[in-house]
Amino acid sequence: MRILAGLFEPLEAETPYGGRSVSWQPVGSAWLKLGARRRRERPEAGGLRALETLTAETRADVRLSTGPMLRFGGGDWRIASSETVGGLAILNLERSR
């Protein structure tokens, strides 16, 4: 089964007070074939952070690199890594829980 996901890139700007603001700009969409979801915990300062990880396949596209976000099924998934194999992009996605 394939699912349609929106592709978003981060758009950073400096605030009037010297801080940084990040918003997400839509740049396209992709049909994804999803693998199994896994949960794991990553140690951080102040405790553990729960992560959900997922592997997905889609057609190769230069916009599907590390950093952008895919939005589908009511969640925002960051592309943690991507690899192109014979015209297919294999994406490792993750999101915080």
pLDDT tens, position by position, 59-87: 999 999 998 999 999 999 999 999 998 89
Q: Quick one: average pLDDT of 42-51? A: 82
The alpha carbon torsion through 48, 50, 24, 87 (nearest 10 deg) reads 120
The tally of domains found in the chain comes to: 1
Q: What percent of the chain has pLDDT over 90?
A: 73
pTM comes to 0.83
**Other C-beta atoms within 10 Å of 9: how many?**
14
What is the residue range of 19's domain? 2-96
The alpha carbon torsion through 57, 75, 43, 56 (nearest 10 deg) reads 0
Give the pLDDT band (50/70/90) at residue 97. confident
Indicate the average pLDDT of the chain: 92
CATH of the domain at 48: 2.40.10.270
